[in-house]
Amino acid sequence: MAPTEERRVRVLHGRTAEQAALTGLLDAAAAGAGGAAVLRGEAGIGKSALLEGAVREAAGRGMRVLRLTGVEAEAALGFAGLVQLLWPVQERLDALPAPQADALRAVLGSAAPRTPDRFLTGLAVLTLLAELAEEAPVLVAADDAHWLDRASAEALLFAARRLAAERVAVVFAARDGFAAAGVPEIPLRRLDPGDAERVLAGRGLAPAVAARIRDEAQGNPLALVEFAAAAHGRGEAGGECVPPLPVTDRVLAGFRARIDDLPAATRTLLLAAAADGRRDLPRVLAAGRALGAGPDDLGPAERAGLVEVSAEHVAFRHPLVATAAYQRAALPERFAAHRALAAASDDPDCAALHLAVATVDPDPRVCALLAAAAERARDRAAYASAAHLFTGAARLAPRSERARWLAAAADAALLAGDAAQAAALAERADPGDSGTGDPVLRAGLARVRSVVEFERGMAGNAARLLVDHTSDLAGTDPDTAAAMLRTAAGYAWFSDDPRALAVAAERLAAMGRADSGVRGMAAAIEGDHERGLPLMTAHIEEVAARRGAPGADEARMSALYCAVIIGDDNAALALAGAEIAACRAAGLVGRLPKVLQAQAQALFRAGHHRDAEAAVAEAAAIARDTGLRRRGAELDVVLAFVAAVEGDAERCAALAEGATESNRAAADAALALSDVGHGHHVRALERLEAARRRGGSHTAVLMAATADQVEAAARLGAPERAAADLDRFEVWARSGGRPWAQAVAARCRALLDGGEADFERALALHDKGGRPFERARSLLAYGEWLRRARRPGDARAPLRAALADFERLRAAPWAERARGELRAVGAPAPADAAAADPVDRLTPQELQVVRLAAEGHSSAEIGARLFLSRRTVEHHLYKAYPKLGVHSRRELARLDLAR
């Protein structure tokens, strides 16, 4: 057995459970249940050995193995790791949907880069792996993942988290610092004394030496092997009593000592190889020649077992060898190696990084090279790399230009989803440093800070930042100024800041950029619903008239928010559907969660609870996979409303618990609805009164909650606690023109004033459509009123209709109230009169898939729309068929799966 193989086998002592876990992952992938895992542990703990064992096992099974290795020197190069993965399979990109194929070609440099959604690349990787797995199961082995550039890591993790029925396994080997939330971990512990002794057995060590090595290594497998080799090298293997081992910094110091014993020219080549992230042999040799070393000088390092040399690469036996080779060199030697590598590189990004490492003082030329590299990274959506490179450009820029590059770095960090870094960079990029007073620069920094403030839940601060920094921008960059003012208007609405909203509207008007949506919001936030809501309605109609606009549309989004504000559920569904379709077609993954959230809200209001849950499930999965934690909390509040209607008070409370400042009112409204459903009227009324005192009474969610406030007040015999808010709600309902809102206003008036005409008017308005849960509540309230008026015969019809609606909506506490009322009027209802809805048997994703399949879409088309592989689509279909009692797509079309 070769020495390398001997070490590899021995380092696996004590790893039976970990090997079994990896074998199970490969078994599952081969059976069509894809998955991922992170081998986590310290340096030398055996991660690479276990990964190598998985690679050998996969190859022995006939699996396709794709490998990549993170390299510390390339951590700032966008997609450096992904290039390793894609290069052997680049001919397969033609099988991907066009936006995804273009994104991966841009990564490989074979297509002109554009600025796609930063998660489109991860989606493309998932699709590519799924396509490859159609031929044979696939293992992706990512070693030293803690050194992967962030763009590559994000893409791979996005794909890994979304594996389902694909025959794909992804294994990351990483130290601490590699964030992989949602991916199962296999932690590697240090070896126990027995396994450590087995590693050392057969190495010719005296018992005392072996015991000392075991104690010194503390269960680290690589340390055990290296300390044993060091003892042999110093002739101490047979001694009974030895001085402390000559390793002061554990394995790293041992490698440094072995490198120190090599000839100077060999050390020079090892330094060049360690400094070169890609370990490219021609480039290392070219740099070595410039430093006075030749190809033969690698021989001593090979014979020492420190490197392996192929026709193309210099491979270090372990990453710590490269670390030792680099760290032992003096600073001037490192600088010389980086300059030589820059001169030998044909990759401008690599050359720029090498020159930057070797440059201390400001240098306009190197600054320009780094900035150009940053712009290329940004164009490929490698935003974290772009932020790093722009920051480097700022370090080497003349003082007058630093703010410019720091502002670009802050913007890139924001696009990368790192709000904390963006804030820190914006703070450093004080425009005063530039000496230019550039309004565009100041406005750009304000935009970054505003997004950070909004993400922190400080929407009011965000609005004021934007408003305060657009006055000087209007004349130089009116398009940017207008966009910032519209964003400020939205922030001001959510933060209940009438002044900021009014200023935004005034400045837009002064620029000739006013739109009816912002003007309507400015009026409505001041309580002028009669003027504000018709303006927002006009904005919705204006945007709806522009059909067929490609891609994501900011105007469509503003119209969608207006539709939510005025309670126009049909318009919200249409606008959200159009935006979702545009996002899917363009691969704008990161934009989808907020649009799906708006769609889910409208679906819930329209009575389609299972569809709302499906939209939330998709949005939550994307938010989880893309690190949008705040969006997850907002999505929970949508589900809290579903739980409130369906009577699950415990779940409603749990979902509302994580509400942020911006959706605290919505969470309170959901909890109040749950309270009313369970008869806790005091708690409901107090909760809503407190929410109104905090502000935001103009928002749609608190306007709609007026119905719960009125019902609670009426039940408690305290109509005065809802009278003023009902007056405002009636104006809001009339001004918005939504029949459902006018119907609820009429019902509320009837509850406070006891008039039958108002009940009849409410039911007539409900017949025009919208919000079936509110219609059922009006029917129930009318039936209860009729019973109390001693008209049991008249009460039965509305109570039966209410019960039918409540049961269809699975509104358990409300249905029970309707049954109780029917019993009271001598018309008891069955315990559960509603027929089972077939969609209730499906998971949210199964529901999405079967609906599209029933419409005639192929598996590939469904996969492209839902960001799934064909195999996963078919997996969901086969799970759904028995739940629905069908056997084929043709039978699906016969079922009533309509919304």
Residue 513 in 3-state DSSP? coil
Residues 655 and 739 in one domain: yes
Residues 270 and 238 in one domain: no
Residues 319 and 292 in one domain: yes
Q: Is residue 479 part of a domain?
A: no
Residues 144 and 224 in one domain: no
Token pair of 362, please?
């400001």
Residues 75 and 105 in one domain: yes
| Residue ranges for the chain with pLDDT beneath 70 | 1-11, 111-116, 232-250, 431-437, 547-553, 627-629, 697, 829-837, 898-899
Q: Is residue 568 part of a domain?
A: no
Token pair of 176, please?
């601490």
What pTM was computed for the model? Answer: 0.80
Q: Is residue 473 part of a domain?
A: no
Residues 220 and 266 in one domain: no
Residues 28 and 117 in one domain: yes
Q: Is residue 456 part of a domain?
A: no
Contact present, 102 and 111 (Cβ < 8 Å)? yes
Sheet holding 168-174, edge to edge: 64-69, 138-143, 168-174, 35-40, 185-187
Domain of 412? 347-437
How many helices (H) and strands (E) in the chain? 47, 7
Residue 268, pLDDT score? 96
d(CA 220, CA 199): 10
In this structure, what is the dihedral angle of CA atoms 258, 264, 265, 266, given to the nearest 10 degrees?
0
Contact present, 589 and 122 (Cβ < 8 Å)? yes
| 168-174 and 138-143 strand pairing | parallel
Residues 659 and 614 in one domain: yes
Residues 157 and 62 in one domain: yes
Residues 30 and 176 in one domain: yes
Residue 14, pLDDT score? 85
Collect all residues with Cβ–Cβ distance below 8 Å to 881 and sequence separation of at least 6: 887, 888
Q: How many CB atoms lie within 10 A of CB 318?
A: 17
Q: Is residue 133 part of a domain?
A: yes
Residues 303 and 400 in one domain: no
Q: Is residue 499 part of a domain?
A: no
CATH number at residue 845: 1.10.10.10
CATH number at residue 151: 3.40.50.300
Amino acid at 886: V
Q: Is residue 230 part of a domain?
A: yes
Which of 799, 824, 849 represents a domain boundary (last residue)? Answer: 824
Q: Is residue 60 part of a domain?
A: yes
Dihedral pair phi/psi, residue 647, rounded to 5°: 90, 10
Which of 437, 468, 489 represents a domain boundary (last residue)? Answer: 437
Residue 138 in 3-state DSSP? strand
Residues 659 and 756 in one domain: yes
Which of 310, 337, 364 represents a domain boundary (last residue)? Answer: 337
Q: 39: which DSSP letter?
A: E
Residue 7, pLDDT score? 36
Residue 547, pLDDT score? 63
The number of domains in the chain is 6
Contact present, 401 and 416 (Cβ < 8 Å)? no
Q: How many CB atoms lie within 10 A of CB 730?
A: 19
> String of b and e for 840-877 (b: at least 16 CB within 10 Å)?
eebbbbbbbbbbbbbeebebeebbbbbbbbbbbbbbbb
Calculate Rg over the CA atoms of the chain: 33
Residue 283, pLDDT score? 93
**CA atoms in the 13 A half-sphere facing the CB of 840:** 8
Q: 770: which DSSP letter?
A: S
d(CA 828, CA 583): 50
Residue 236, pLDDT score? 55
